[in-house]
Amino acid sequence: MINVNDFKTGMTIKVDGNLYTIIEFQHVKPGKGAAFVRTKLKNLRTGSTIEYTFNSGVKCETARIERKPMQYLYNTGDDYTFMNMEDYSQVDLDKKVIGDDVKFLKENQDLDITFYEGEVLGLQLPDKIELEITHTEPAVKGNTSQSATKDATLETGYEIRVPLFINEGEKIIVSTKDGKYVSRA
């Protein structure tokens, strides 16, 4: 148990049977009345964000979240298989659990999977990954009437907008946060 006055950003707590990560918190001491802690919490199971207010001095249960280094192996239909890099055990995750991160997965990619008491909560991709462009149209000289970008398909099947100078077969760096082109590899 932890006192709400000891909250820190990134800490994981259990409230009403749900697991939350503290995104931000603020101690408020009004001129009249008791102090309280205003927080913004992210649900680790659903991904939704809520605002929650705790009275000062209240205790919350902390949750021990494990991050295990895993490697993405392959997928069969909607099941994606990952291997633990320490004991070589395998874990299958459904496409619904992975969510939008599926568009950044490529075989033999290293990442972290988060667990809570044996339950898989999700995966943590690196902020930026290197992917190869499998298809893009060649740039037409002088075609800058709109923005100077064009469509490109990555090796994972994800479509992205890239600058005109990027060609098929090149490797680029893509942000996993917003899915946008960052730079050449």
Query: What CATH number did the domain enclosing 117 receive?
Result: 2.40.50.140
Number of domains in the chain: 3
pLDDT at res. 40: 94
Give the CA distances from residue 81 to residues 1, 18, 31, 147, in Å, rounded to whole numbers and listed in that order. 35, 26, 55, 39
Q: Which range of residues forms the domain containing residue 43?
A: 2-62
* Cβ-proximal residues to 87 (8 Å cutoff; 6+ apart), any chain: none
Residue 16 has pLDDT above 90, yes or no: no
Residues 70 and 58 placed together within one structural domain of the fold? no
Q: 143 pLDDT band (50/70/90 cuts)?
A: low
How many degrees, rounded to 5, is the angle at CA 178 between CA 174 and CA 183?
25
* Range 116-125 average pLDDT: 83
Question: What is the model's pTM?
Answer: 0.70
Residue 158 has pLDDT above 60, yes or no: yes
Domain boundary among 124, 150, 168: 124
